[in-house]
Amino acid sequence: MDTGAPRIIASSILQGAVVPAGTIYFTVQLDEPVRPNFTLNQFRLVAGSTLINATNIYYAANVTTITGVFAGVSPGAYTLRITSFLDAVAHPVDGERHPTNTVPSGNGTAGGNFEVDITVIDDPAPVVTGVTLDGQAWT
Ligand SMILES: [Ca+2]
Ligand SMILES: [Ca+2]
């Protein structure tokens, strides 16, 4: 009998990460399958009182690896938040982020949001900062 809450055991973005603006892919792996009836507000970017739902959610066939996609994210400070994943018998994910390593999640009690603070920055094209000439004199 399944008596345990799922936990998040891997996260593609860790607490404090700096990521380029644009499309952000946030993938998490759980230690058991969760129900695949996702809604886009189960992956969110939170910036103050602004809540941005995922643009898409993808998941592997066994529903242990799930990706939230956020398109067109502007620079700024955000919290990535995952809420309300349920296992087959409706135990909510024990989601609190690990205090130092981000994962595995959980505080021993079913439920709790998984939240990762990130900074989104402009990602400019590479700039030439120096050149090496091969001995030819400029005249
Ligand atoms: Ca379970
Ligand atoms: Ca918990």
For residue 78, being part of any structural domain is answered with yes
Nearest alpha carbon to residue 116 among 68, 72, 64, 63? 68
Domain that residue 75 falls in: 8-138
Does residue 3 sit within a domain?
Answer: no
Is the residue at 113 inside a domain? yes
Pick the ligand that lies closest to the CA of residue 110: 2
Instruction: Report yes or no on 2 lying in a domain.
Output: no
CATH number at residue 27: 2.60.40.1220
pTM value is: 0.86
Quote the number of domains for the chain. 1
In the reported structure, the alpha carbon of residue 87 is separated from the centroid of ligand 1 by a whole-number distance in angstroms of: 5
Within a domain: 125: yes
Looking at residue 136, its pLDDT comes to 64
Instruction: Specify if 92 maps to a domain.
Output: yes
Split the chain (139 residues) into runs of 10 and give each run's mean pLDDT. 93 97 97 95 96 97 97 97 95 97 97 98 79 68
Q: How far is the CA of 8 from the centre of ligand 1 (A)?
A: 12
Give distance in angstroms: CA of 95 to centre of ligand 1: 13
Among the bound ligands, the one closest to the CA of 94: 2
Do 15 and 97 meet the contact criterion of CB atoms below 8 Å apart? yes
Q: Answer whether residue 1 is part of any domain.
A: no
pLDDT at 99: 96
Q: Is residue 31 part of a domain?
A: yes
What letter does residue 99 receive in the DSSP assignment? T
Ligand nearest the Cα atom of residue 32:
1
Measured CA distances, 33 to 60, 88, 109 (Å): 10, 7, 18
